[in-house]
Amino acid sequence: MKTPKSSKVTAQSGVTQSVAAESVAATSVTTTAVRGKRIAVVSHSHPSISKGGAEIAAYTLFHGLRRLGYDAVFIGACQQSQRGKIELGPNEYAFYYDPHIYDHFYHLASSDVSAQLLTLIRDLKIDLLNFHHFFNLGLAAFKQAAQEASVVFTIHEFLSICHNHGQMITRPAQILCSASSPNACGACFPEYSSQQFALRKQNFLESLSLVDAFVSPSHFLADRFVAWGLEKERMNVIENGLMYLHPPHLAQHSENHIWKFGFFGQINPFKGVDIILQACELISKKPALAAGIRILIHGNLIGQSDAFVKKFEAALEEYDFLSYLGPYNNSSVNSLMENCDYILMPSRWWENSPVVIQEAYAVKRPLICTGIGGMAEKVINNVSGLHFAFNDPADLMAVIEKGASATVHNALVNGIPGVLTAEDMAQQYLSVFNSVKSRAVSEPAEVPAE
Amino acid sequence: MQRAGFSAFFEGDIEDAEIGDLRLKIAYTDRTALNFQISPKQVRKISHSGAAARLQNIYPTIMAEPFFPRMAKALRRLDKQRARNITVLHAAPCQHAVVFAAPRSQSDIYLMFAGIREHMNALGKDTGIVILASPDEFRAAVVFHFNELKSFSDRPVSLIFVEDVRLAAYAVPSSLEKHIQAKTFVFVSSGTYLSAAGWAAVSQARDGLTFLDVGNPVQTTAPGEATFSCFAWSVAGLKAYLDRTDTPAGGLDSLPPAAKLMTLAKRVPDAANALFFPSPSPLLHAINSRFES
């Protein structure tokens, strides 16, 4: 039986320093150890079913590994009711779950899910599992799978730490939260005892103690998890890559240029579109500014109150410079972003490594974002974007005003970092996979590159 | 009169069948009187500790009544009697039983079954799992997980329904003796979760009374406590103890074990964690405060 990697994970370590030193350098990769071994990238969904950041990142990595000629398979979870909708390509597999048979507190699923996953791992003779979530498959399946192969776990959000949708925001007050504790979490969720929260954490740490290495797409997320109890030595930071990159179309700014600021993503209560609306009210009181800008909202409304929807509709009617362009397909995000000068990200939660940032960088568009968490890490203030103060529409307006300048914009465009391709991402992951002590397995022939 | 409520206390047991032909006589100051017939459907019998909070709402100062000690003793006795009402869904005999009282929360039911699935194959060959559950709103979840457990394991697993899962320890002798034929057992209450150390101990704990210490997972450095929330014993030993002892209302673990028992029992440290610490109602506290179990 596989034993926990360390007893250290059971206590809150209190480590708060950055794990920057653990960032993986793409250039110094030795790729021999996992060559000839079969790698399974395991996701809680499949991009043909849902297009969340975690499943897109997992799928991009899978293709990156295949393009580099590695024997990678993709295993995705799929709701039983969506069996007819999933589109599995070559080397892609699915296991099926019933969302009604899942506990969202301890994250435990039906035994049937474990059995399906184990069958796939054994039938496919998987040597290394790279899990991109535990959601939908549950911790019991995760623990059983970890007995079968080496495990690298990619963390995409804070769900292990925070029961409030992994947002690390208190409820009902919606205040940013820095660290979980049984008593604090019990205050957010009085229906659970502090003992249940302590056991929830204990079970997570026990399950994660079977993991050989962790990957986080941001230092911010990595630091939070190290402070929570994961071993710093096993933590690696690798940015998510993008599946396809096209040369960006760089806009020219005439003297009377109308500056366009675009929001992209789900319009849910955590994404802060309400702050944009409040900023619009302030902008409308500055006619010169209002005449020189446009704010374009892209995405679909999810989980918003009737009051917000009314406010949103009223703002669209009232402000000429504000437009709602509706939902969009991922395939069109490049051209939609290229129609903007800046990308707005006014999130009310920490974020981790939102794909919108990479997508914006891919088309050389600077961001204006809340200066907290993963956003503050990925968007360097005054280098590749501009920060505004959390929950402060007046500051957002001031930053929009500052950004509406060719000098500022050009400087920020020049500060935008490069974006990883799927192959770049896979190369960095391979150095982590190679660091994992793998089991003795027969070596299948190398596969042709995709 | 249609909306009025009246409470009355009677000494002694009243069977439901005996509640009939009730009349309420109202005497007026002019010496006239009226008799109202009360339908048996309108009568609520509050005779057990499960409704202690309701009883206290109706009569908050009942503890001051001279009849209270006698009433408290009757309520304690009634809990043991209620626990004898069991319904067997599936029984698989075994020598040694690990008896789980099913939690009263959906999440904790998942947790309990996940723990059982993870550890049961390491148990001794003569050891079986027995689930005691209430036929309440969580019945469907328990039956589902039990069927999964049964289909994914060749170990003896049993599911028995009791009237109130908080009283499950009182139901252990009647459940195990007749239907499971187990000689020894480990009992895990509905508010307790076995640790890895606890699972390692359950196969061996069959020699007299053993307390598997229950800790507070919020305070991991504090030692656990010996309680009837998690203990091992022989079926005959528990039966004799329950027959001769005035035990607490609200479940055997409502009070700490008597000092005399503690001197006889063995202990297993760090064996389990509490899922919560219940706050007994003042009335239940009063019902159990005048004696030591």
Would you give per-residue pLDDT tens digits along chain A (450 residues)?
Answer: 677 765 444 344 333 334 433 444 443 444 457 778 999 999 999 999 988 889 999 999 999 999 999 999 999 999 999 999 999 999 999 999 999 999 999 999 999 999 999 999 999 999 999 999 999 999 999 999 999 999 999 999 999 999 999 999 999 998 999 999 999 999 999 999 999 999 999 999 999 999 999 999 999 999 999 999 999 999 999 999 999 888 888 877 888 899 999 999 988 888 999 999 999 999 999 999 999 999 999 998 877 889 999 999 999 999 999 999 999 988 899 999 999 999 999 999 999 999 999 999 999 999 999 999 999 999 999 999 999 999 999 999 999 999 999 999 999 999 999 999 999 999 999 999 999 975 433 344 456 666
> Which domain does B137 fall in, by range?
86-278
Residue A229, by phi and psi: left (phi above 0), alpha (psi -120 to 50) or beta? left
Q: Do B276 and A112 touch (CB under 8 A)?
A: no
Instruction: Among A105, A140, A193, select the one facing B118 at the smallest CB separation.
Output: A140
Name residue, tokens 């060749």. B154
Q: Do A108 and B111 touch (CB under 8 A)?
A: yes
Write the burial class of residue B170 (CB in 10 Å: 0-12 exposed, 13-18 middle, 19+ buried). Answer: buried
Q: Is the pLDDT of residue B160 over 90?
A: yes
Q: Which two tokens stand for residue A289?
A: 């500014």
**CA separation for the pair A55, A47 (Å, rounded):** 6
**CA-based nearest distance A141→chain B, Å:** 10
- Predicted confidence (pLDDT) per residue in B219-266, tens digit: 989 999 999 999 999 999 999 999 999 999 889 999 999 888 999 899
**CA separation for the pair B159, B99 (Å, rounded):** 10
**pLDDT of A21:** 39
Please, which residues have CB within 8 angstroms of residue B217's CB and are 6 or more apart in sequence? Answer: A182, A195, A198, A199, A202, B273, B274
Say how many CB pairs under 8 Å bridge A and B.
Answer: 58
Contacts with B106 from chain A: Cβ below 8 Å: 103
**CA-based nearest distance B84→chain A, Å:** 30
Q: Is residue B274 assigned to a domain? A: yes
Q: Is residue B244 assigned to a domain? A: yes
Instruction: Among B110, B149, B217, select the one facing A103 at the smallest CB separation.
Output: B110
**CA separation for the pair A40, B107 (Å, rounded):** 30
Second-level CATH architecture of A7-244+422-435: 3-Layer(aba) Sandwich (3.40)
Domain count, chain B: 1
Contacts with A111 from chain B: Cβ below 8 Å: 117, 148-149, 152
Contacts with A140 from chain B: Cβ below 8 Å: 114, 117-118
Tell me what the pLDDT averaged over chain B comes to.
Answer: 89
Question: Chain A residue with minimal CA distance to B115?
Answer: A140
Span B81-87, average pLDDT: 88
**pLDDT of B74:** 84
As separate numbers, helices (DSSP H) first and strands (DSSP E) second, chain A gives 15, 15
**CA separation for the pair A73, A50 (Å, rounded):** 19
**CA separation for the pair B50, B251 (Å, rounded):** 10
Q: What are the beta bridge partners of residue A237?
A: A23, A216
**CA separation for the pair A168, A177 (Å, rounded):** 5
Q: What are the beta bridge partners of residue A40?
A: A73, A129
Instruction: Among A111, A192, A199, select the one facing B217 at the smallest CB separation.
Output: A199
Contacts with B149 from chain A: Cβ below 8 Å: 111
> What size, in residues, is chain A?
450
Q: Is the pLDDT of residue B1 over 90?
A: no
**Residue B142's CATH number:** 3.90.550.10
**DSSP, residue by residue, B201-226:** HHTT--SS-EEEEEE-TTSTTSPPB-
Q: Is residue B168 assigned to a domain? A: yes
**CA-based nearest distance A104→chain B, Å:** 8
Mutate to test the interface with B, among A2, A9, A193 (most CBs of B within 10 A): A193
Considering just the CA atoms, what is the radius of gyration of chain A in Å?
Answer: 22
**DSSP, residue by residue, A154-217:** E--SSTTT-TTTT--B-TTT--B-----HHHHHHH-TTS-HHHHHHHHHHHHHHHTT-SEEEES
The strand pair at B192-194 and B266-274 is best described as: antiparallel
Proportion of chain B above pLDDT 70, given as a percent: 95
Please, which residues have CB within 8 angstroms of residue A275's CB and are 6 or more apart in sequence? Answer: A346, A348, A391, A392, A393, A396
Q: Domain A259-414: which topology?
A: Rossmann fold (3.40.50)
Q: Is the pLDDT of residue B3 over 80?
A: no
Q: Is residue B239 assigned to a domain? A: yes
Q: Is residue B105 assigned to a domain? A: yes
**CA-based nearest distance B133→chain A, Å:** 19
**pLDDT of A147:** 94
Helices (H), B133-292: 139-151, 168-175, 196-202, 235-244, 259-264, 282-288
Q: Do A196 and B275 touch (CB under 8 A)?
A: yes
Contact A205, A198 (CB under 8 A): no
Q: Is residue B130 assigned to a domain? A: yes
Instruction: Among A139, A182, A193, select the one facing B275 at the smallest CB separation.
Output: A193
Q: Which two tokens stand for residue A188?
A: 């957010």
Instruction: Among A108, A112, A196, select the one facing B276 at the smallest CB separation.
Output: A196
Q: Collect all residues from B whose CB is shorter than 8 A from any CB in A.
A: 106-108, 110-111, 114, 117-118, 144, 148-149, 152, 193, 216-218, 220, 273-277
* ipTM here: 0.88
Question: Chain A residue with minimal CA distance to B278?
Answer: A193
**pLDDT of B291:** 63
**CA-based nearest distance A206→chain B, Å:** 11
**pLDDT of A1:** 67
**CA-based nearest distance B105→chain A, Å:** 9
Contact A215, A352 (CB under 8 A): no
What CA–CA distances, in Å, run from B293 to B245, B256, B262? 7, 7, 11
Contacts with B150 from chain A: Cβ below 8 Å: none
Q: Do A111 and B111 touch (CB under 8 A)?
A: no
Q: Do B107 and A106 touch (CB under 8 A)?
A: yes
Q: Is residue B284 assigned to a domain? A: no
Write the burial class of residue A19 (CB in 10 Å: 0-12 exposed, 13-18 middle, 19+ buried). Answer: buried
Q: Do A103 and B118 touch (CB under 8 A)?
A: no
Residues of chain A with CATH 3.40.50.2000: 7-244+422-435, 259-414
**pLDDT of B18:** 76
**pLDDT of A29:** 44
Q: Is the pLDDT of residue B4 over 50?
A: yes
Q: Is residue B240 assigned to a domain? A: yes
Q: Is the pLDDT of residue B283 over 70?
A: yes
